[in-house]
Structure 1
Amino acid sequence: MPGSSIPFPELLQDSDGGSNEAFESLLKRADFSGFVASRDLPPLRARLLKLEREKGVTDLHRWVSERVLETGARLVETPRYTSPQRSFALSPSGRHLAITSDRVDPYFGGELRVWELETGRVVDVHGFNEGVGGEESSCVQWSPSGQWLGVIFNQVAIGVVRAFSQARPSFTVDITRRWGSPPAWAFKRPEDAANRGHLPAWCWSPDETHLFVSTPGPDGALGCIVPFREGAALNEDSEGLRWCPARSGTSHSSLNPHTWVRWSHDGSRLYGYRYPLGGEWDDEAHDYTGVGSASAIDAGSGALRFHAGGVRLPVAFSPDGSRLVHGGERRGYAERIELVDGHTGHRLATLSEQIPEPEEGEPTFSELVWSPDGKRLAVLMDENYLPMICVFEGEKLLCQLEIESPPVVVETCSDRRRWAWSPDGSMGACLTRGGGVELWDIGPVPRRIRQLTGIGGLNGLVWGADDTLVGIGHDALAFWSATSGELRAHASFAIEAGHIPPPKSWFPWPNEPGQFLPTERGWAFTHVYPDGTVVCPPGTREQLESRLMFSVAGRHAWPWRWAIGTRHTRLDDRGPGPARSAPEREARVGTLHISHYRAHPVFERGPDLRRDSLAPHVGQMVLLSFSDSYSVIDLASLLEVTEDGVRIRRQSHRGPDPEKLIPFSSIHWIGPAVLLDEPEHLAGPKGSAE
């Protein structure tokens, strides 16, 4: 603002804790030409949030929004619904979290979203027509500088995007197909095995000039070093690829590539471990061995530096790769935890010998987590009577923590961990049963600091910068302040019980994904544009407002609601509104695809799901979600209800026979099927979704 005399840093320092009137007076004298988003936006946003809590959204919010947003911003929506979150990675700064998932309808592909930890809102979205990420470890990775994000596509290729840009991949590498195809005997038709590829482990070089892809290669290679060049698309025939031969000395090794890899900070080594699900396959026994291996590769020659077998889960390299800790052969009723030199593979200590064996039960070492500086190691031990965490410093047991019994983590090879270290390693946090979090001060005499609010559906924990804790689940996220214990933000992505996504033919934007919100008898569709335009039917704006943020400099969230009434926003309420009823179709319940229905009323697992509740609906079509050998949602005829469960005939004619009883304990929710009203823009002969 020309003529102003107050630089921004000075203004924010002077206004901290002052009156609202004094703050407004100072702010209107500020020199916005010197505004730097990374430095000035977080404290300015915090001061305006305080003002909003006291007085609501004011003219000052709009006045400031005009000036902040003119520096360049795009509108981003934090989604209400997504498919399960698959993989994640914390940025090097600790202030952003990248998460991948498919869209609610995989027909629209997948997304890579970047969340700002301070606000718990999305600030960057990369949409793809392909599936992205995976349940395995390291499917999404930041480059060391935080400028790039790499992600797995279609379980085979690696794509790199520029972070905070919403851009398409500017680099791709696909070198896993030629040698990585599954064996033909694994398929009913051998031709199905050709050219399928596999999900590769990979990592960045410390100078961001190369990627290492762990995949079988020619002459028994364990992987390939590929040059990273913006705009390039590499395959097996591209120039500049350097395969790493699987050689130890002069003998040729028949080793398999790693399933987790990292490049050493000095650029000299590629280290990692191999632990496919169930361990290595034994051809003679026709079974999995339950053990894997670890090794290091010379980045210059590609030769093996060491190889160590007999590795059992859990397994973890220290952040600098100098030490490896893993499960070993059983010792009596307890597993062994071995500490190994990450340069040579030589055993340094058996840590489990320092842990007293319990009087009863058989303990299981389920998780190993190094502190960021690699000086401390948390060993999570689960058993029936005394769940605990043992903390080692160096090679010595430092302390033991007794905690609540934490939830079981099924994804043993994923990035999800129940324990998270503070950035300086002085404190730790553990995700406990019910989604709560215990904070601990770690030392010879550990101290429980506080218990944080429980959030359901979490199975992983990350500690970011500025004392922000993030709880991660397939369908949920939670952001806490580790300093105050305040729950800053909470997001749930699961569709409400009794609902399933609407038919894709109902989306008003057929070539791009929109979001949708439930109405009494259908769905209302919404769409958000980067220029600040929001399309939503009347009555849905309030449900959207808290999730709409301008992304300033691609990294910082600025609330859309603060800018309403300025030139940066436009509300279009002429979008597809409440659906037009179609009572003439009610008689045909059961003849349409299940996406045309919802369950109403809904009986969820618990005291309401019983014979008395469901008996009046015998003979009707019901919509239900239940677990058979896997999770199922389907439309079915309710044939019988007993004291223990139900018998159904599914619309798909697959699944349990009508004679088979589905116990109430296997049903997530069930209710009589109600036909939804199709949107107004589809009503009529041409728009029929039948």
Structure 2
Amino acid sequence: MPGPFENSSQWMDCSDAELESLAEQADFNGFEPGRNLPPLRERLLRLERERGLTEVHRRFSEKVLAAGARLVETPRYLGMQSSFALSPDGRHLAIANDRLGKSPGGDVCIWELATGRVVDAVGFETTQVGSTGDPSCLQWSPSGEWLGVNLDDVVVGVLRAFAGTPPSFTADVTRRWGSPPAWAVINPAHVANTGHLPAWCWSPDGIQLFISTPGPDGALGCIVPFREGARVNEDSDGIRWCPARLDGQPSKSQPHTWVRWSPDGSRIHGYCKDEFVSDPNVDLENEPTRSSVSVIDVRSGAFQYRFDGLKLPTAFSPDGTRLAFGEQSPRIASGRTARTVAYLRKHVDVRGYVGAEEYVWSRDGRRLAVLIRGDESSQILIYEAGKFLCEVDLKGRSFGLALRSGDLGRWAWSPDGSMGACLLREGKAEAWKREGLTVELWKVGPSPRMLRRLEDASGIDGLAWGADGMLVGAGPQDIAFWDVNTGALRFRPLLALERGRLPPLSDWNPWPGEVARFIPTERGWNFTRAQPDGTVECPPGSREKLEPWLMFSVGGRHAWPWRWAEGTPHARWEEKAPTPVVSKVPVESPIHYLAEPVFTPGPAIRDNLAPYVGQTLLLRLNWHGWSYARGVLREATEKGLLLDPPCPSLWSNREPVLPYGEISWVGPAVALEGPETGP
């Protein structure tokens, strides 16, 4: 059939018989994944819903995959997700996460919003990626071709997006100059290999990076040329340090903790959070921290201005020309001078006013959403071109928890700024929980109206509105993908282990050198492996759980279900149980147990656990990262648990009682079957 890929609508509108004819006759020499694959995939998904897997799925798979594709397994379980970045075209979300359990290292995964599956992943075996509490540690280049990420808190690494390869460029310019705040700065003449997590940003043309870090002669950052394959340090050629002088005098500022390069390339604007005064005559123990905003002139490297009256939260407009800030007295200021141009407090109408919690600019900078919280109610103020436009009435609902990094907000603008999505909860009860959350979609204008409500938002802390009507919500261990046009939940993967389960040791991985993938069974774990050539190894009985997570990555960007290709040369299933590597782990170790039933924190936890005095319990510790404990319950006190052996509090090693607030879940320990059951 001539020209089968010119009109994407023919895939969606054709009959099943016509689709079968296309599968046989279509010439795939002109197939372009970015243009042709999404509509074809949608049509085949509809066919599968109506008729199940057919020969048509296999025929199209043979042709789509003939040009080459990698099999990528969307991780069933992940460590804590920390850093997030939506691609410039709005079709992919990059996430940096830790490894599950106490394993070192981390991963950078790229999720396709249209399918909710991972299409590219780069693993770091011993390197920490991103940050748990700092913003913008993961950033796309303006072209979307590159992805930069903080490594081990001090290095900026850049990898080619969608290539599945490690960073091909690194900039390590922070180590020699120490770490802010002022009292922590180390003399570079005496100590090496110390540093801080640098704020950084791309230049508008994507050929330079600005890295905010203390430098020689009082510099507060440097401009680094980006070249694929380069390894840059503070002494490399081509680095230009910015002296950050103010009115010709050395600045007493600290480096920015958030920065952006202006679209015209002339300025670098940013703010510094919790800044100490860099002055030997100041008593640092009694001097409170402050926040400041400042702008660096790219040509001279000097400050254009510095403003010490900044009050958080804050947000620059995308072009840096306006600045919204302040909690008690929210305002909009000029991003070029920090002079206030509009006070927003007069538009606040909530009972028990607490303050502004978040500022979110639309992508074109035309509109601003201000999230206002009160003791009894909350509201969202919308401004357009600096003037009040409308109020979104939340009718007693409150906002969900904020993402620690701030990479995603609880309000997300649609790409054109005409609509917004807001993460909400009913009332104020148990506001510390990530349960009972919903997402509301609003049409924004002089008379705003709620369009629809999206359910199943538990665990979500931030939202991003992508292209093609896709909305993604993410939290430390959750992610969800919705179609805003229909309200349908596209995919809601389970990233956290079921409560009461622990991950197996990475040492038990039957394929040393590869990331261990596993599926919990009733008495242990099944280990699985998906190889790039389409081969899948999985023990009997786990296929149903594993198969939905298997996708071919076409062009590195688009997911194509593995199940559609089974029966072709591109997909092969090997149903066998690999032998785990034996690791000597004493049977007393928590890794050999699960907890069933599971008791979670709450007012009744003491009464729930009282009948289990004298029994062995398994616990997940809430504030110890991925830490677990096993011990005999001696007493469930009013303050916490007495265990044998004792499990000390995070806050006091002398205190024998483990507070309930430090327990994520707890229950009677049930023995599992592991590779090593001996002492």
Q: TM-score w.r.t. structure 1 length?
A: 0.90
1:302-451 pair list within 5 angstroms: 302-327=301-326, 335-352=328-345, 354-356=346-348, 358=350, 360-403=351-394, 404-409=397-402, 411=404, 414-433=406-425, 434-451=436-453
Aligned mates of 1:171, 1:187 — CA distance in 2? 27
Judged with a 3 Å threshold, the aligned counterparts in structure 2 of structure 1 residues 198 and 78 are, in CA distance, closer, same or farther, namely same
Matched, 1:647 2:642: yes
Q: Which runs of 5+ in 2 are unaligned?
A: 426-435
Contact 1:645/1:661 (<8 A) preserved: yes
Supply the AA of the counterpart residue of 1:560: W
Q: Offset at 1:573?
A: 2.0
Contact 1:369/1:419 (<8 A) preserved: yes
Aligned mates of 2:14, 2:494 — CA distance in 1? 36
Which of 566, 569, 580 is 1:567 aligned to?
569
1:666-681 pair list within 5 angstroms: 667-679=663-675
Q: Offset at 1:648?
A: 1.6
Contact 1:427/1:442 (<8 A) preserved: yes
Stretch of structure 1 that moved more, 453-462 or 652-661: 652-661
Aligned mates of 2:566, 2:646 — CA distance in 1? 47
- Provide the residue aligned with 2:235 in structure 1: 237
1:105-124 pair list within 5 angstroms: 105-124=101-120
Supply the AA of the counterpart residue of 2:415: P
Contact 1:579/1:678 (<8 A) preserved: no
Matched, 1:621 2:616: yes
Contact 1:281/1:287 (<8 A) preserved: no
Matched, 1:5 2:2: yes
Supply the AA of the counterpart residue of 1:400: E
Q: Offset at 1:622?
A: 1.1
Which of 632, 635, 656 is 1:637 aligned to?
632
What are the superposed Cα offsets for residues 419-456 of structure 1, whole Å, 9 maximum, x if unpaired? Answer: 00011111111001223101111111111111111321
Q: Offset at 1:319?
A: 0.5
Judged with a 3 Å threshold, the aligned counterparts in structure 2 of structure 1 residues 632 and 103 are, in CA distance, closer, same or farther, namely closer
What are the superposed Cα offsets for residues 312-371 of structure 1, whole Å, 9 maximum, x if unpaired? Answer: 11111101111111117xxxxxx112322122333222222x32454x423210100111
Q: Offset at 1:630?
A: 7.6
Contact 1:634/1:651 (<8 A) preserved: no
Supply the AA of the counterpart residue of 1:639: R
Aligned mates of 2:247, 2:340 — CA distance in 1? 21
What are the superposed Cα offsets for residues 123-158 of structure 1, whole Å, 9 maximum, x if unpaired? Answer: 000111211001311000000000000000001100
Aligned mates of 1:645, 1:256 — CA distance in 2? 42
1:398-547 pair list within 5 angstroms: 398-403=389-394, 404-409=397-402, 411=404, 414-433=406-425, 434-547=436-549
Aligned mates of 2:653, 2:148 — CA distance in 1? 45
Supply the AA of the counterpart residue of 2:536: V
- Provide the residue aligned with 1:221 in structure 2: 219
Contact 1:579/1:677 (<8 A) preserved: no
Aligned mates of 1:678, 1:249 — CA distance in 2? 67
Supply the AA of the counterpart residue of 2:389: L
Contact 2:112/2:119 (<8 A) preserved: yes
SS at match of 1:275: strand
Q: Which runs of 5+ in 1 are unaligned?
A: 329-334
Aligned mates of 1:410, 1:556 — CA distance in 2? 28
Supply the AA of the counterpart residue of 1:120: G
SS at match of 2:100: coil
Matched, 1:131 2:128: yes
Q: Offset at 1:595?
A: 1.7
Aligned mates of 2:512, 2:654 — CA distance in 1? 38
Contact 1:200/1:215 (<8 A) preserved: yes
1:201-280 pair list within 5 angstroms: 201-276=199-274
Judged with a 3 Å threshold, the aligned counterparts in structure 2 of structure 1 residues 593 and 563 are, in CA distance, closer, same or farther, namely same
Aligned mates of 1:272, 1:183 — CA distance in 2? 17
1:67-146 pair list within 5 angstroms: 67-129=63-125, 130-134=127-131, 135-146=133-144
Stretch of structure 1 that moved more, 564-573 or 211-220: 564-573
SS at match of 1:150: strand
- Provide the residue aligned with 1:331 in structure 2: none
Contact 2:212/2:257 (<8 A) preserved: yes
Aligned mates of 2:59, 2:512 — CA distance in 1? 37
What are the superposed Cα offsets for residues 184-235 of structure 1, whole Å, 9 maximum, x if unpaired? Answer: 97699x9997522100000111111111101111111111001111100000
Q: TM-score w.r.t. structure 2 length?
A: 0.91
Judged with a 3 Å threshold, the aligned counterparts in structure 2 of structure 1 residues 182 and 396 are, in CA distance, closer, same or farther, namely closer
Contact 2:257/2:273 (<8 A) preserved: yes
Which of 54, 60, 64 is 2:60 aligned to?
64
Contact 1:401/1:446 (<8 A) preserved: yes
1:151-190 pair list within 5 angstroms: 151-181=149-179
Stretch of structure 1 that moved more, 80-89 or 101-110: 101-110
Supply the AA of the counterpart residue of 2:352: G
Judged with a 3 Å threshold, the aligned counterparts in structure 2 of structure 1 residues 512 and 370 are, in CA distance, closer, same or farther, namely same
Stretch of structure 1 that moved more, 652-661 or 546-555: 652-661
Q: Offset at 1:505?
A: 2.4
Q: Offset at 1:662?
A: 5.0
SS at match of 1:336: coil
SS at match of 1:107: coil
Contact 1:296/1:305 (<8 A) preserved: yes
Contact 2:254/2:276 (<8 A) preserved: no
Q: Offset at 1:63?
A: 1.1
SS at match of 1:497: coil
Contact 2:441/2:453 (<8 A) preserved: yes
Q: Offset at 1:579?
A: 12
Supply the AA of the counterpart residue of 2:556: G
SS at match of 2:177: helix
Supply the AA of the counterpart residue of 2:222: C
What are the superposed Cα offsets for residues 296-317 of structure 1, whole Å, 9 maximum, x if unpaired? Answer: 1111111111111110111111
Supply the AA of the counterpart residue of 2:344: L
> What is the RMSD computed on CA atoms of the aligned residues?
2.8
Q: Offset at 1:13?
A: 2.8
Aligned mates of 2:129, 2:242 — CA distance in 1? 27
Supply the AA of the counterpart residue of 1:617: Y
Contact 2:183/2:284 (<8 A) preserved: no
Judged with a 3 Å threshold, the aligned counterparts in structure 2 of structure 1 residues 187 and 599 are, in CA distance, closer, same or farther, namely farther
Judged with a 3 Å threshold, the aligned counterparts in structure 2 of structure 1 residues 665 and 238 are, in CA distance, closer, same or farther, namely closer
Judged with a 3 Å threshold, the aligned counterparts in structure 2 of structure 1 residues 368 and 187 are, in CA distance, closer, same or farther, namely closer
Stretch of structure 1 that moved more, 287-296 or 108-117: 287-296
Which of 31, 35, 39 is 2:31 aligned to?
35
Judged with a 3 Å threshold, the aligned counterparts in structure 2 of structure 1 residues 234 and 501 are, in CA distance, closer, same or farther, namely same
Judged with a 3 Å threshold, the aligned counterparts in structure 2 of structure 1 residues 643 and 426 are, in CA distance, closer, same or farther, namely same
Aligned mates of 2:542, 2:220 — CA distance in 1? 54
Q: Offset at 1:26?
A: 2.9
Supply the AA of the counterpart residue of 1:152: N
Matched, 1:23 2:19: yes
Judged with a 3 Å threshold, the aligned counterparts in structure 2 of structure 1 residues 179 and 304 are, in CA distance, closer, same or farther, namely same
Q: Offset at 1:281?
A: 8.6
Aligned mates of 2:407, 2:678 — CA distance in 1? 41
Aligned mates of 1:255, 1:26 — CA distance in 2? 65
SS at match of 2:25: coil
Aligned mates of 2:541, 2:192 — CA distance in 1? 52
Contact 1:179/1:216 (<8 A) preserved: yes
Aligned mates of 2:312, 2:507 — CA distance in 1? 46
Aligned mates of 1:170, 1:626 — CA distance in 2? 38
- Provide the residue aligned with 2:432 in structure 1: none
